[in-house]
């Protein structure tokens, strides 16, 4: 009861703050550069990075600085990496699934790194729909692309995002934690990897919009994925 009353009181403030953030936040482009290639020598590894604006490299100047480029660089020390990046700004989990469906047709991957969920938070995707979308995406990657390993990146701690004022930051953070908890449970149920990152929220780890990861944060993200894959 108190929770519903609190949300009723805060609703006008949250609505106003949300509109203001959308109006005033710097709009950054996706990183420039190649979105497919081959690098390294050794055992073959087919890698797909799939997802939203963070996967697309928003916050980084080039794909070499973004998570895909830095991950490929790390993995190429051990493997011959054939890689592709399918990512687009503003996609929800459902949108990520639809993007992957557009590429269906014979291509297979050993590892798929997924970045999704932030737009589901900001668009207030219902928990039941989030569960269904995660299941649909996982099934698609396994059935259509024969993915041997699926790594879901944990939702970031949005209650720390400097671009969000209070109480919007608290509200968004609460929503993010709810979806992230379900993501973790989904990974446990469906034998996927859940990658939690403990990224510092110092200025150098945030892009100019105060929302996306910088190249330094992308490096830590890539290192986390690489360590997960190579240390098992």
* Arithmetic mean of pLDDT, 42-60: 98
- Of 1-10, 144-153, 168-177, 223-232, which has the strongest mean pLDDT? 144-153
Place 230 in a pLDDT band, splitting at 50, 70 and 90.
Answer: confident
- Of 4-18, 155-169, 172-186, which has the strongest mean pLDDT? 172-186
Listed range (10-14, 48-52, 148-152, 168-172) with the worst mean pLDDT: 10-14
The CATH topology of domain 36-230 is: Rossmann fold (3.40.50)
3-state SS of the chain?
CHHHHHHHHHHHHHHHHHHHHHHHCCCCCCCECCCEEEECCCEEEEEEEEECHHHHCCCCCECCCCHHHHHHHHHCCCEEEEEEEEECCCCCHHHHHHHHHCCCCCCCCCEEEEECCHHHHHCCCCHHHHHHHHHHHHHHHHHCCCCCEEEEECCCCHHHCCCCCCCHHHHHHHHHHHHHHHHHHHHHHHCCEEECCCCCCCHHHECCCCCCECHHHHHHHHHHHHHHHHCC
Listed range (70-74, 80-84, 142-146, 208-212) with the worst mean pLDDT: 208-212
pTM higher than 0.85: yes
For residues 9 and 165, the model is more confident at 165
Which pLDDT belongs to residue 58?
98
* Arithmetic mean of pLDDT, 91-96: 99
Which pLDDT belongs to residue 2?
45
The domain limits of the chain are: 36-230
- Of 10-14, 166-170, 173-177, 220-224, which has the strongest mean pLDDT? 220-224
Say yes or no to pLDDT of 22 above 60: yes
For residues 160 and 96, the model is more confident at 96
Which pLDDT belongs to residue 98?
98
Mean pLDDT, all residues of the chain = 90
Say yes or no to pLDDT of 105 above 90: no
């Amino acid at each position: 009861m108190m929770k519903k009353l609190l949300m009723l009181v805060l609703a006008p403030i949250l609505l106003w703050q949300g509109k203001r953030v959308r109006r005033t936040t710097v709009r950054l482009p996706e990183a420039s550069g190649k979105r497919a290639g081959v690098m390294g020598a050794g055992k073959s590894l087919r890698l797909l990075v799939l997802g939203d604006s963070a996967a697309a490299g928003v916050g980084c100047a080039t794909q070499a600085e973004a998570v895909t480029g830095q991950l490929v660089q790390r993995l190429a020390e051990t493997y011959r990496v054939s890689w592709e990046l399918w990512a687009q700004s503003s996609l929800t989990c459902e949108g990520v699934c639809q993007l992957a469906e557009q590429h269906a047709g014979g291509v297979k991957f050993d590892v798929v790194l997924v970045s999704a969920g932030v737009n589901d938070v900001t668009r207030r995707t219902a928990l039941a729909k989030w569960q269904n979308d995660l299941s649909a995406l996982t099934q698609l990657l396994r059935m259509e692309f024969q993915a041997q390993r699926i790594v879901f990146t944990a939702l970031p701690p949005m209650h720390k995002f400097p671009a969000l004022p209070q109480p919007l930051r608290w509200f968004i953070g609460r929503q993010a934690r709810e979806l992230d908890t379900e993501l973790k449970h989904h990974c446990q149920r469906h034998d996927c990897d859940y990658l939690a990152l403990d990224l510092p929220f110092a200025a150098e780890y945030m892009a100019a919009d105060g929302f996306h990861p910088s190249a330094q944060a992308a490096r830590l993200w890539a290192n986390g994925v690489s360590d997960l894959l190579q240390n098992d």
